[in-house]
Chains A and B, each alone.
Chain A
Amino acid sequence: MEATVVRTGTEGKTWGGGNEPLKASYGKLMMWFFITSDALTFSGFLAAYGFSRFKFMDSWPIADEVFNHFPFLHGVDAPMYYVALMTFILIFSSVTMVLAVDAGHQLNKAKVTFYMFLTIIGGVIFLGSQAWEWKNFINGTYGAVYTEGGNILQFIDGDGHRVALADIAAPAASVRVEHEARNGVWFESEGSLPSYSIEEVKAGFVANPDLLIRTQIMTEEGEKTILSREESLAKLDNEAAGVVEGANLTRNEYGPPLFGDFFFFITGFHGFHVFTGVLINIIIFFNVILGTYERRKNYEMVEKVGLYWHFVDLVWVFVFTFFYLV
């Protein structure tokens, strides 16, 4: 009997087996699989963000008013500059990464080491910047009042400038003390109280005839609605439910709670990618120093981790657009 050889009739054709139709190594293909699926995950998040934004089309915060901090420029209105700087840092670390890959093709160990090092530094600086951005977002600047319906009321003076709660609130006699588990029922405690109670803010608002309320509803001109003094007083009296300073997952002083949630979730998820990217870069960096790829005569690992790093940059380009520009 002859040996059983399976013949498919496709020998020698592209997909007939025994060749590499995509001319890419297994590892690189798997990295592309991962990147494509991860891209779909991020698209899901960004599309969900778009959904919520369309849903709250006329009450979404204006990015320039939220992200307007810059290091050492305290109190200066600097929209966009900081996040533009972050973008440059990430693009530049992408450039050093691709230069490392390029040096790897020349089997130039010294250059790969140098450029990998720069890439890691860029990633660390970006992470630090994002931490600072989060710090500002969480602490907030002015504070606001939230209503029963979950809307945000902000305060402005006669010139249209935002006024912080600290400049409004009139210290009241009755100060509510934060309930701690060690007082009273042991299993009940509450989160930290805001610096000012709603009564103090109300009293201070009534006392200062200059102050007006700005709602989160957008006018035709793309600016937030400003109420008249009478409307402001009535609104505060009827609807105000509590004070909010900065942002957490439940509410934030900028606008709909979903704004803060998506900010934390999407920039956080991206930051986590940057973080793991830095970790993987460090591992590869040490492998380069130890000469692992030098002995292999192949620096493809640098190329694979580079793909991931560029992908992180690619995602940031979209996050930048949809959170800060559009």
Chain B
Amino acid sequence: MAHGTAHHHESNTKRIWTVFVILSIVTLIEVVLGILKPEFLTDTSFLSMSLLNWIFIILTIYKAYYIAWSFMHLEGETKGLRRAIVWSSVFLISYLIFILLTEGNYIYEVFKTNHVAWDF
């Protein structure tokens, strides 16, 4: 079982607390934005989604990056392992999201233009 790696590790506590502070600040920003909902962000639309929602999603991915890289220690793994994990997931998930959201939007349009009645 022993890999002989146990003695090469230095303590990373400082980095851990830094990441904790970053994650907390980002969460705080999200919460404050979610409560205030500034009008210029909700009213501005970019790629058919409000700027506020884009900010939320980008901040979420930013948090996910820190959790995966620092806490799950992906930054210390070999390039091959990291890519196997990240690229597979990112590719499959992006494809799934793209295709389902497109379809959902299409059904919304069909309902809206009353080609199909659903509210009796």
Contacts and interface: CB of A to CB of B under 8 A. Distances in A.
Interface in A74-99: 79-81, 84, 87-88, 91-92, 94-95, 97-99
A106 to B, nearest CB: 6
B64 A56 contact: no
A222 B53 CA distance: 13
Contact of A296 (B2, B72, B103): B2
B48 to A, nearest CB: 10
A95 B100 contact: no
Contact of A148 (B68, B77, B120): B120
Contacts of A314: 64, 67-68, 72
Contacts of B56: 321, 325-326
Nearest to B30: A325
Interface of A: 21-25, 29, 32, 35-36, 39-40, 43-44, 47-48, 50-58, 64, 79-81, 84, 87-88, 91-92, 94-95, 97-99, 101-102, 105-107, 147-151, 222, 296-300, 303, 306-307, 310-311, 313-314, 317-318, 320-321, 324-326
Contacts of B115: none
Given A24-B77, A149-B118, A56 B3 contact: no
B20 A91 contact: yes
B104 A43 contact: no
Nearest to A50: B101
Q: Decide if the interface of chain B is mainly helix, strand, loop or mixed.
A: helix
Nearest to A56: B108
B11 interface: yes
B81 A32 contact: yes
Given A50-B97, A91-B20, A317-B67, 18 more contacts: A32-B85, A36-B85, A36-B89, A43-B92, A43-B93, A43-B97, A54-B107, A84-B27, A87-B27, A101-B73, A102-B12, A298-B3, A303-B73, A306-B72, A313-B67, A317-B63, A317-B64, A326-B57
